[in-house]
Amino acid sequence: MQDKFVHTPHGRIHLHVAGGGPPLVLLHSNGGSAFEWEHALPLLAKDFSVFAWDMPGHGDSDPSGGHCSVETYADAVSCVMDALGLQRAHVLGSSIGGAICIAFGARHPDRTACLLPVETPVRSPEEWKSGWFATEKMFGSVTQTEEQVRPRFRKVSPEFLARWNIDRAKAGVRSMIDVMWALRDFDVLATAARITAPTLLIYGDRGPTLARSPDLLTRIAGAEFTKVPDAGHFPMIDDPEAFVDAVRRFAQP
C-alpha cells in the first residue's frame, strides 16, 4: 500500500493506493479515513487497482472549506479520478460513502463500471428530525470510549480504538456534523432511481440500515443485494474476507 496525494478543485486529496487490475475506488464513512479499509484493501488489491480516499475534510485531505453536499462529494470523486487518470471505475462506499456512491452513479454514469453501496442510510425527513439529537450526540464530540464503540463491532482492540479516535480528531466535530447535514438533505431514493450501472447493495446482517434496504433495492433497476453474516455497520471491518468475496463475485469481469 502506498500513500498518494492528488490536487483537485476540492483541495489536496490523500489516498491509499495498492494492487493492479480494474480500478476500484473506496469511500469511507463519516469521521473515518482510508484506514477504514485497512484489512479489506490488501485482499481487494489481489484483483483490483484500489484507490481509497480520505474525503475532503477528513484524514489527511485538505479541509472542505465550507458545506459540502453529497452531490459535491460525488463530483469530488470524479475530480480525483481525473487526477489519477481513471476514465471509469468500480465505486464502493460505506455509510456516507454509500450515499456518495449512489450520487456518483447518478451524476457520472459514463464513469461508473459498477456501484457497491455499503450500509447506506435511508431515512425520511421526519426520521432525521426526530433522531437529530442522537446524531449530534454521536458526532458532537471527537473521542469515543471503548464502551461507546464496542456495540458496533465484533471486537474492539486498543489499537483499533486509537485509530478510530485519531480519524475522528482529524475530521473534527464541525466536519462530522456537516456530513450528517449533507446526508439529511440528500434524497437518496430519488437519486437511486436514476442509476443505470450494475449495483450490489451490501449490508451487515446486524447493521442499522438493513431494515430500510428494500426501499433502496426497489429504486435501482436490476440491483442485487447481499448480507455479511454476523456483521454490523462496518462489514469490511467485522469480516473482511466475506466482504471482499462478495465484492469480487460481483465486480470481477
As a whole number of angstroms, the distance between CA 21 and CA 160 comes to 29
Confidence check: pLDDT of 253 > 70:
no
Q: What is the dihedral of CA 127, 122, 156, 1, to 10 degrees?
A: -140
How would you classify the pairing of strands 11-19 and 2-8?
antiparallel
CA 242, 245, 249, 252 torsion-angle sign: positive
Q: Give the model confidence (pLDDT) of 13-36 as tens digits.
A: 999 999 999 999 999 999 999 999
Average confidence score pLDDT of the chain: 97
Q: Is 208 in contact with 152 (CB distance < 8 Å)? A: no
Name the CATH code of domain 2-248 (choices 1.10.10.60, 3.40.50.1820, 3.60.110.10, 3.10.310.10).
Answer: 3.40.50.1820
Q: Which ranges of the chain does DSSP label H, i.e. alpha helix?
A: 40-44, 70-84, 96-107, 125-130, 132-139, 146-149, 158-171, 173-185, 188-192, 213-219, 235-238, 240-251
**SS3 of residue 158 by DSSP:** helix
What is the percentage of the chain residues whose pLDDT exceeds 70?
100
What is the percentage of the chain residues whose pLDDT exceeds 90?
97
Confidence check: pLDDT of 168 > 80:
yes
Q: What is the dihedral of CA 238, 241, 247, 251, to 10 degrees?
A: 160
Which pLDDT value is given to residue 163?
A: 97
The domain segmentation of the chain, as residue ranges, is 2-248
Cα first-last separation, the chain: 24
Which pLDDT value is given to residue 252?
A: 83
Q: Residue range 38-62: average pLDDT?
A: 97
Q: What is the pTM of this model?
A: 0.97
As a whole number of angstroms, the distance between CA 185 and CA 171 comes to 20
